[in-house]
Structure formats: structure tokens, C-alpha cells
Amino acid sequence: MARAVPDRNPLHWGTNTLPGQDGIYGLSAYRGADHWLLVTFGLTDLFGPIVPNAQISGWGFELTMRVPMTEQQPPAWSLNLLDKLGRYVFSSGRPFEPGHRMDPGGPITGKPDTRLTALAFAEDLQLPHIDSPFGSARFLTVVGITADELAQMKATSTHQVLDTLAAGSPTLITDPSR
């Protein structure tokens, strides 16, 4: 992270989850020029390999999300969403991959004041793939999308629609007001 983002003093939140048990271990929020970069930790092996000599660290990824910086802290809904996604991975045994999409069944903020009702997952192009003593991992960015964008993704591809969104927001900021 130190090479990828200028913020050397991120905010941190821990969860009540033990490493490698049933969800993420915590979240960090890095300040960008106009957005927060949220990064999970705990989907990879933090304190040692769970599987000895594994090529992949934990689930092989950590989640990221970018949200507008409108307050001194990121919005609570974004932290809760990433926590729930981590719990989903652990409980279902299904890791996310670039190109995956998900309809969580309602507005991603938990409030009806947004059109963002689904999620897409893409390789985070700003954070490089990492190799650690515990295996390799990548960063997947979570992007809030509308029902129409989800339908377009099903008709074409997730990557095609995300490329269109990236033309207006190169870092794929999830802005609930759009």
C-alpha cells in the first residue's frame, strides 16, 4: 500500500472476527484527493499460511472500494458492505473473481435514496498483485452498479460495462448519488 497510495496514516477498523475464521479481520481507509480507498484485510493469510506451502494466500484476494470523500470518515454503509462481502466468502466458500457480479437484493447503502442496487468485481488496476511468504494475492475492487448496468452486464459482459463506467471515473468510485 505504501507504494500505491500517498496516505501514510490510514484509518483502521477491526472486526470481531478471528483471522481465518468467518470474515474479514479489519478494514483500512486511505485518503485520496476526492475519495476514500477502502481495503479489507483477512481474506488473505495475515499471520502465517493456513495451508502450508500454499501458492495462494488465503482466498487469494483482498477487496477494495472507492467512495466519495464527503466526511472525515468513510460512510458506514461502505464499511458494512465490505464486511458482509467478507462474511459471504467465508460462509459460502465462494471467492470472488474479476467479472463477477452480485445482486444483494436492495440498495447497497441500505437506504432507498440510491439507484445502486448491485455490485460488480474487477481487478484493482491501481494496486498490484502481491507475493508474500504466505502466498500470492490480488486486489479486487467492488463497484456499485444500477439494475440497468447489471442487465447490460448480463447481455454483454461485466468488463465492457465497467470499461464504460471507467471512462467517467477511471478509479471506479462508487458514488451512491449517481
Question: What is the model's pLDDT at position 33?
Answer: 86
Distance between CA 97 and CA 119 in Å, rounded?
Answer: 12
Question: What is the model's pLDDT at position 2?
Answer: 72
Residues 26-67: pLDDT tens digits? 999 999 889 999 999 999 988 877 666 678 999 999 999 999
47 within 8 A of 32, measured Cβ to Cβ: no
Question: What is the model's pLDDT at position 112?
Answer: 95
Contact partners, residue 53, CB within 8 Å, separation at least 6: none
Question: What is the model's pLDDT at position 123?
Answer: 96
Global pTM exceeds 0.85: yes
Q: Checking DSSP bridges between strand 130-132 and strand 35-41, what pairing results, if any? A: unpaired
Question: What is the model's pLDDT at position 51?
Answer: 62
38 within 8 A of 67, measured Cβ to Cβ: yes
Distance between CA 34 and CA 7 in Å, rounded?
Answer: 13
Q: Checking DSSP bridges between strand 56-68 and strand 130-132, what pairing results, if any? A: unpaired
Q: Where are the domains of the chain?
A: 11-168
Question: What is the model's pLDDT at position 7?
Answer: 78
56 within 8 A of 133, measured Cβ to Cβ: no
Pick out the chain residues at pLDDT < 50: none
